Amino acid sequence: MSEIGNWLERNLEALRASGARLNHETAAKVAASKVSPRLRLEASRSGGIQEPTAILTGPEGDIFLHSRYRPRSEAVKFADGVGVEGCDYLVLYGFGLGYEAEALIQIAPQLQLRIIEPDPSLLYSAFVSRDLSELLGLAHVIIVCEEQVAEAVGSLDYLPFFFPKLRSSNLRARIAADDWYFRDFAAKLDLFIAAAGNDYRACAGYGLRWCVNTIRNLALLERSYVTPEVAPANSWRIVGAGPSATQTLEPLATAAKTFTVYCDTAVRTAAAFTKERLTAVTIDPQPISKLHYLGVPPQRVLLVSDIGAHHSLLQSFPHLSFICSEHPLHRYLSSRGLPLGPTLVRGGSVSETALRLAHHAGANEIELHGLDFGYRAEKSYIVGSWLESYLRNRSDRLHSISDQNYAFIQKRNAVRRPTTPKVETSGTDNMSKATYHTSLLEDYRAAFYSAATALGFRYTPGSSCSEPGRLYGERHSSPLLGRGDIAPNATGDLTSAHVSHVTTDEAVREVLGRFRQELSELVLPAKDSRFGMSYRSLGAAGATLVPAAIFFHERRGTSRCEAMQQSCELMQNEISRFIAAGR
């Protein structure tokens, strides 16, 4: 018994010593647990008690987790069948007694292995029964022990630039015992991977611009503002630029007082229907996003902007508040004390960001106007949007950039191609006319309603094309209250009457100076071989280079290592310009 006790402590110590935060948390959960009543250990036929097997009790009765004869050699066959050679990142469902994980690492010693085991008592039983310290001490072997599926998926650190080849596998007997958990996890993991892939594609197009914008926009922090002591609003409207908004904008101008936030694509048209200040959300890093506000006096707009939006747009707005994303650059700057605003940008859709802003401010009832995510009756955008004019007449495309944008929209959206998009004449939107759907807009639709569901809203469609759909959620307190983040005041208006500057230029330059120093001290890998293994050693500063590095890698054909080098030089140069300009 003393030997078994020593195994437990030795395994826990190895897990803590791995240096991974999740492993440290798992070690604490296992230490507080005890032997699982669902698991029985049994000596194997070939290895005896030194090579035990295990029997797990599940809904269908007892089942062996490993071979009752030769568990170690059978685990090697399992690992061979997974095909980990050339794989960068593997998610393994279930731990058992650890034989399969050991075999996987034996075949691929540098594999980034994430093991999902929601039951700490099963891990306790495994740690008691075998000496697993060599496996558990590896920094790239992470055991996620989390009963909540969403939390377990959220703990993963997959970045497709560093780990372009991700796979998953499972211990069949283990998942059979908790089938509901692992099915839910697999479904959410698919969404997680898809989101990471979408993020990768966005960085491939705009990663360089996004990094440059973020650094340059830090100069605006001193004059950006928040509203202190806010009173959250329960009822909101979100107005997008879908064709149906043409029918609802005019009534909105005289409707009962409800706080309204506009997607940037709808601002130009909305300004023609109301004289009130418009609150708009923008997240686009491209300079062409300025056209959404063409002809709208900047003082009429309170702009809630991703700090990675194009700096030439933001400079002209006197009423400006920032929000940010979960990208490593934003996380790094926020962790160093720069107030970049709440983390509300989770995808490429401005409508989803507006939804998260509403929820963040305490909304539990939201009207949806112009969020068609499709082309109603062959109309692409709200009348008056600059995008709508591109698609309406060739004569509206007056210069080369207009033609380029038109070609881009055609390519991405398959506009007015009845044989390509999905045509819908009825359904959740109760459409009065056919609507064309495209893959891009279907992605936006799925992301919006998935976010709404995750935030606790339920959707009720309007009874006609002119009546908005609604989201209903539970009443909740806003995390903004008393914290001074962006939110409506008691009158339902977002106002700059009480301006609170969030930081100073001196504070920004101090943070950037330390950031530049950290970047200059980075030791970046010289070869692409197993590049993913260098990710951890890069630390928080190195991870900030990823968006621009993806751009260099995809757009300019450089290797991953060269792309990281170029991204590092770019970031240091931008920081140096920023600091020099402030002197």
Q: Is the pLDDT reported for residue 350 higher than 60?
A: yes
Burial environment of residue 236 by CB neighbours within 10 A (0 to 12, 13 to 18, 19 or more): buried
Chain segment 176-185, per-residue pLDDT in tens = 889 999 999 9
Q: At what angle do helices 400-413 and 439-454 cross, to 10 degrees?
A: 70
Q: What is the mean pLDDT of residues 463-484?
A: 66
Residue 359 has φ and ψ, to the nearest 5°, of -65, -40
Share of the chain above pLDDT 90, in %: 35
Are 384 and 272 in contact, with CB atoms under 8 Å apart?
yes
The pLDDT tens digits of the residues spanning 36-50 come to: 899 988 888 877 777
Task: Using the Cα atoms of residue 11, residue 17, residue 22 and residue 26 in order, give the sign of their dihedral.
Answer: positive
> Cα(11)–Cα(124) distance, rounded to whole angstroms?
10
Residues 189, 151: Cα–Cα separation, whole Å? 11
Reduced DSSP (H G I as helix, E B as strand, rest coil) percent helix, strand, coil of the chain, to 5: 45, 15, 40
List CB contacts of 310: < 8 A, sequence separation 6 or more: 209, 213, 284, 285, 286, 287, 289, 290
Bridge partners (DSSP) of residue 369 are 239
What's the rounded mean pLDDT across residues 330-341? 90
Task: Dig out the tokens for 567 from the structure.
Answer: 């991204």
- 469 phi and psi angles, rounded to 5 deg: -75, 165
Three-class HEC string of 539-560: HHHHHCCHHHHHHHHHHCCCCH
- In 3-state terms, what secondary structure has residue 399? coil
Yes or no: say if 293 and 270 are a contact pair by the CB < 8 Å rule: no
Q: Distance between CA atoms of 66 and 91, rounded to whole angstroms? A: 19
What do you get for the CA distance between the two ends of the chain, in Å?
69
Torsion over CA: 192, 194, 196, 199 (sign): negative
pLDDT at 65 over 70: yes
Top pLDDT among 310 and 395 is at 310
**In the predicted structure, residue 445 carries a pLDDT above the cut 50:** yes
Pairing of strands 365-369, 469-472: antiparallel
Question: Residue 329, SS3?
Answer: helix
- For 229-263, how does the pLDDT look when each residue is reduced to its tens digit (9 = 90+)? 334 568 889 999 888 888 777 777 666 667 889 99
Q: Would you list the DSSP string of 13-42?
A: HHHHHT--HHHHHHHHHHHT----TTEEEE
Q: Taking Cα atoms as reference points, which of 135, 197, 190, 146 lies closest to residue 168?
A: 190
Q: What is the Cα gyration radius of the chain?
A: 27
Please report the pLDDT score of residue 552 as a whole number.
Answer: 94
The residue type of 380 is: S
In whole angstroms, what is the distance from residue 241 CA to residue 391 CA? 14
- Residue 117 clears pLDDT 90, i.e. is over it: yes
Start-end of H helices in 130-178: 133-136, 149-154, 172-177
Give the separation between CA 175 and CA 185, rounded to whole angstroms. Answer: 11
More confident residue, 465 or 86: 86
pTM: 0.78
Residue predicted with more confidence, 358 or 226? 358
Token pair belonging to 505:
């230029």
Average pLDDT value for residue range 213-225: 86
Name 391's Cβ contacts closer than 8 Å, sequence gap at least 6: 380, 381, 406, 409, 415, 416
- Answer for the pair 158, 200: CB distance below 8 angstroms, yes or no: no
Return all residues near 63 (Cβ < 8 A) that are at least 6 apart.
55, 56, 173, 176, 177
Q: pLDDT category, 418, cuts 50, 70, 90?
A: very low
Least confident span in 152-166, 291-305, 351-365, 427-441? 427-441
**Average pLDDT score over the chain:** 81
Is residue 158 within 8 Å of 89, Cβ to Cβ?
Answer: yes
The pLDDT of residue 498 is: 38
Q: Which residue matches tokens 């023609």? A: 272
pLDDT of residue 113: 93
CA distance 70 to 45: 7
Residue 281's pLDDT is 94
> What is the model's pLDDT at position 435?
62
Task: State the pLDDT confidence band at 571, using cuts at 50, 70 and 90.
Answer: very high
Six token digits for residue 413: 């959206």
